Amino acid sequence: MTPNWVGQEELVTPSWVGQEELVGSGASVTARSVTGMLPSLMDAATVSVSVTPRDETDSSTEDSSPVFELRDVNVFYGKAHAVRDVSIDLTHNRITALIGPSGCGKSTLLRCLNRTNDLIPGARVEGVITYHGLNILADTIDVIELRRRIGMVFQKPNPFPKSIFDNVAFGPKVTGMKLVGRSGMADWVEECLRKAALWDEVKDKLKESGLSLSGGQQQRLCIARAIAVKPDVILMDEPCSSLDPIATARIEELMVELRAEFTIVIVTHNMQQAARVSDRTAFFTAEVQPDGSRQGVLVEEGPTYQLFTTPRERRTEEYITGRFG
C-alpha cells in the first residue's frame, strides 16, 4: 500500500533541517559476532582478517529484502561529477558499511538516501533510488516525512542547546507524534535514552544542557534524538571519527544492539570498525579523469566476511591491505 506521504505537496524544508534535526529509522536484525580485528593497515603484506560471519539462519522471520535499491546513481555539484553510475541494494535488517579513501563519494551517496544533498546549492542527483519500492527522487515525495523515516547521525555530535530531555523530545513534538498516557513524553524520552544506552548516565540530570555531556555521550544523545521519531533507517556518517577509543567502543556496541530494531548504513574510514559491526560492506574508490577531476565509483559490495577475506577485485584487496588509500 502506498504510504500516505507519497503524493503530498512537498513541504518547505524548515531552517532546522540539516543543523538541528535530521532524525530517522525502524526494522529488525539479528546479531552477528566478529571475533577478530584487522591487523595494522600500514603493513602492505597480505592481511588475514579474522571475521565470523553472521548466521543467516538464526532468525526464520528475518526480512532480507532491500530497503533501498540504487540504479545508475550519479551525483553532481554544479559541473563537478562527484559520484558515477552507482548501483547497489541496501538490505533490510542489516548494518551496511561504506568504506573507501577520502573523496570517493561515500558521504555524498549516504546523503542521497534521505535527500539531504537537496540542501547543498548546485547539487543534483540522477538515476533511480527507491525506498521500499518508491522512487524518492520523485517530485511528489514529501521530503520532510522521508527524513523522519530515514534519519541521520553526523560525524560531529551536534546536540541542540537545550536540556537533555528536550533534545530527545524535540522531534516528537515538532512532528506531532501522539504518545499515550499523562506521562507519555517522559516515558518515551526514557525509552529512547535506554535504547541509546545513555539513561543510567543522565537520568538524574535530564534538565541539564545536552552540551554539558562528554563527546561520546553527546553522540549517543544524538542517536536517542534520531530514534525518538520512530524512524525506519538510521544513516551514520563517520559517527566515531571524533571520539576516543572507549567512546567508540560504546557506540559500536550500541550499533550492534540497535540493528535488532533498525536498518543502519554507516560511512567509516575505520576498516576494523566495518569488520566488527557490519553485515555487508561496500568499497568505493575515486577514479581520476583525463581532466584531473575525481569521480567516486563503487568497486564491489558483499558480505563483510567475504569482502575482507576473499575480495573479488584487486583494488579492494590493495585498499584493505594498506597498499593504497
pLDDT in tens, 164-206: 999 999 999 998 888 766 678 999 999 999 999 999 999 999 9
Torsion sign over Cα 136, 27, 4, 117? negative
pLDDT, tens digit (0-9, with 9 covering 90-100), for 129-170: 999 999 999 999 999 999 999 999 999 999 999 999 999 999
CA distances from 227 to 114, 120, 143, 288 (A): 15, 25, 18, 39
Burial class (CB in 10 A: 0-12, 13-18, 19+), 204: exposed
Which of 53, 36, 49 is CA-nearest to residue 321?
Answer: 49
Beta bridge partners of 297: 285
Q: What is the Cα–Cα distance from 291 to 276, expressed in whole angstroms?
A: 38
Q: In what order do the strands lie in the sheet with 66-77?
A: 134-135, 123-131, 66-77, 80-91, 294-303, 280-288, 95-99, 263-267, 233-237, 150-153
* CA 127/CA 135 separation, integer angstroms: 10
pLDDT recorded at residue 296: 96
Cα–Cα distance between 193 and 188 in angstroms, integer?
Answer: 9
Q: What is the pLDDT along the chain (325 residues), one digit of tens a residue?
A: 444 444 433 333 333 333 333 333 333 333 333 333 333 332 333 334 445 444 443 433 456 788 999 999 999 999 999 999 999 999 888 999 999 999 999 999 999 999 999 999 999 999 999 999 999 999 999 999 999 999 999 999 999 999 999 999 999 999 888 876 667 899 999 999 999 999 999 999 999 999 999 999 999 999 999 999 999 999 999 999 889 999 999 999 999 989 888 999 999 999 999 999 999 999 999 999 998 899 999 999 999 999 999 999 999 999 998 876 5
Q: Give me the numbers of helices (H) and strands (E) for the chain, helices first please.
A: 10, 10
Partners of residue 73 on adjacent β-strands? 86
Task: Please name each of the domains of the chain with its CATH number.
Answer: 66-320 (3.40.50.300)
What pTM value is reported for the model? 0.80
Separation between Cα atoms, residue 226 and residue 214, nearest integer Å: 18
